[in-house]
Amino acid sequence: MTGLVSRRNLLVGGGSLLLAGCDRVSSSPTVRETLSWGERASRSAQRWLIGDRQALASEFTRADLSPVFRVNGSTHVTAADYMRHAANGFADWTLAVDGLVAQPLSLSLGALRAAPSRTQITRHDCVEGWSAIAEWTGVPLGLLLRRAGLSTRARYIVFHCADSLAGKPYYESIDLVDAFHPQTILAYAMNRAPLPIGHGAPLRLRVERQLGYKHAKYVMRIEAVESLSGLHGGKGGFWEDAHDYQWYAGI
């Protein structure tokens, strides 16, 4: 991160030096055109260095799928309600979408599977230093938020999970740029099979421009909020509250 910032500063510095040196000749139309092209190029280089929040994460092919994809964090859920749903194949489980929305939703797994879907083969990067590639299929989060009629007051989307770690419920949150990013999906399938319990059945978040801990598993409820301060420890996520992990974990 600091590497990027300092490279950007170097670039910006270099650019202004160059422009200062050319000021004297900028009355010539040809030179003026060259400069404006240069400025455009420099702006897009900056955008590349800073990172474009809308850009897509790399996608891979089936030949790239990892033979082993580690199960990390919670491997299962012991909450009675969840165990009952799991025993029943999540047949009468529903996802709640509420908070700052015009129309709260309650969606069965069948309804989610029947909605328009996106399939993507992406690399998961855990902060602990391992990565793995898998194919994910799910409903674009933006589609559900549009269906629920997101309020203009909403600034964050919170994912409430069924599991707890060290007695604290797992939760995560993202902003609206990531919520409406085309690769942000609620996945119900992994490698073309129903999402296994270890990987977050029946539904987990894929937010491909961020690190692994943001990809909430066992998502039970999605809440639109104006502020994160009233939730749990106030830092927007389990790891953010517990260990000061960064809330924005961009990769």
Ligand X SMILES: Nc1nc2c(c(=O)[nH]1)N[C@H]1C(S)=C(S)[C@@H](COP(=O)(O)O)O[C@H]1N2
List contacts with ligand X (CB under 6 A).
Answer: 70-74, 126, 161, 163, 165, 170, 198-199, 212-213, 215-218
Q: Where are the alpha helices (DSSP H) in 99-234?
A: 109-114, 141-148, 176-179
Which tokens belong to 52?
């474009």
Q: Which is nearer to ligand X, 181 or 204 (CB)?
A: 204
Q: How far is the CB of 230 from ligand X (least distance, A)?
A: 20
Sole window of 104-112, 124-132, 144-152, 165-173 interacting with Mo ion (rule: CB under 5 A):
124-132
Quick one: which of 45, 71, 126, 197 contacts Mo ion (CB under 5 A)? Answer: 126
Minimum distance of ligand X from residue 229's CB (angstroms): 21
DSSP for 206-236, please give it.
EETTB-GGGS-SSEEEEEEES-STTSTTSSS
Q: Which is nearer to ligand X, 150 or 179 (CB)?
A: 179
50 touches 116 (CB < 8 A): no
- Choose, by CB under 5 A, the member of 138, 200, 202, 212 that binds Mo ion: 212
User: If 0-12 CB within 10 Å is exposed, 13-18 middle and 19+ buried, where does residue 58 land?
Assistant: exposed
CB of 208 to ligand X, least distance (A): 13
- What residue 82 binds from Mo ion, ligand X, none (CB within 5 to 8 A, per partner kind)? none
Residue placing its CB nearer to ligand X in the complex, 69 or 156:
69
Instruction: State in angstroms the smallest separation of the CB of 209 from ligand X.
Output: 15
3-class SS at 2? Answer: helix
Among 171, 213, 238, 247, binds Mo ion (CB under 5 A): 213
Whether the CB-CB separation of 238 and 172 falls below 8 Å is answered with yes
CA pair distance 61, 134, nearest whole angstrom: 9
CB 204 within 8 A of CB 195: yes
Q: How many residues bind Mo ion, per CB under 5 A?
A: 3
Q: Considering CB distances under 5 to 8 angstroms, the limit depending on partner class, which of Mo ion, ligand X, none binds residue 70?
A: ligand X
Burial of 163 (0-12, 13-18, 19+ CB in 10 A): buried
Q: 99 is in the binding site of which of ligand X, Mo ion, none (Cβ under 5 to 8 A by kind)?
A: none
Minimum gap (Å) between residue 170 Cβ and ligand X:
4
Alpha carbon distance 56, 35 (integer Å): 30
Nearer to ligand X, 41 or 165 (CB): 165
